[in-house]
Amino acid sequence: MLGEIGGCYQRSWVAVTSTPFTLMASIIRKPRSKHWFACFRDLQGRQRRKSTKQTDRKKALRVAEQYEQVSQRKLPVRTVRETLLELFREAYGESVPRATVREFIAAWLKNKAPEVAPATLDFYRKSTTKFLQFLGPAAELDLANVTRPMIIEFRNGLAQKVSAKTANHDLRAIKTLFRSAKRDGYIIEDPAEFVESVRKTGEDPRRPFTIPEIRNVYDLADQEWKSLILFGLYTGQRLSDLAILSWEQHRLGPK
């Protein structure tokens, strides 16, 4: 039977045992709108209303039913995306772009090449390579399979291996990647959007070389580099300063 609840016409079924009836998704059309609105209940039983963006009644009703199934978690996560893609194709007559993580990264880097400086492109390439290595076989899955926990795990793994600054640089590249994916319609939700940066401790992770380490480097260096290594060891000067020293400045002791 039909009943009006909260302005939405609901189809409901009454059980023979007089148990509470079950409401089903329905649609209404507001006086000044050409689109149908879906009326459905979520997992907590609250009534929801959302535009279907459809003018066709049958298509709108199907969208409403899908809204209800998603809001009540009646569909597996992977099925939700497939269902939405199918609805999109039926409603708009075109397909949503799809790509694996590896395919999208390759295309994204190619598109970035004429837009950014070579150094920035190299930075993007290194960061995305780290991400692909982290994903392993999952890099061959659809981009939509990447989740927020996966991005967080990637970030945490970086934080254990490199400085906070480097980890945040790589995270920034991945955020830019997924922001582009959402903008271009490859994903519905951006899994990297609310992933926070690594907290900086203020500690300098660098340390001086030990004598055995300096000896190993010295043994592998050519004659010119041997001189630079010794000058650096005994004077404490930076490599850039040592490289521009003239012969007169190399003279030791008083004139």
In a structure prediction context, what are the per-residue pLDDT tens digits for the chain, which is 255 residues long? Answer: 344 444 554 443 333 333 344 457 888 888 888 888 888 877 777 888 878 778 888 888 887 887 777 777 666 655 666 666 666 666 556 666 889 999 999 999 999 999 999 999 999 999 999 999 999 999 999 998 899 999 999 999 999 998 898 999 999 999 999 999 988 888 878 999 999 999 876 555 567 788 888 888 888 888 888 888 888 888 877 777 777 776 665 555 444
Could you give the CA distance from residue 228 to residue 67 in angstroms, rounded to a whole number? Answer: 69
Q: What are phi and psi of 158, to 5 degrees?
A: -65, -40
Residue 129 forms part of a structural domain: yes
Could you give the CA distance from residue 223 to residue 233 in angstroms, rounded to a whole number? Answer: 15
Type and span of the H or E element at 12? strand 8-13
Could you give the CA distance from residue 142 to residue 102 in angstroms, rounded to a whole number? Answer: 9
The CATH number covering residue 130 comes to 1.10.150
With 0.75 as the threshold, say if the pTM is over it.
no
Expressed in angstroms, the distance from the first to the final Cα of the chain is 108
Residue 191 forms part of a structural domain: no
Tokens encoding 75: 């569909």
Residue 196 forms part of a structural domain: no
The answer to whether the beta carbons of residues 28 and 7 sit under 8 Å apart is yes
- At position 13, the amino acid (one-letter code) is W
Which segments within the chain are labelled E, that is strand?
Answer: 2-5, 8-13, 22-24, 26-29, 36-41, 47-54
Neighbours of 193 (CB within 10 A): 12
Domain finish residue from 43, 69, 92: 92
Residues 219, 171, single domain; the answer is: no
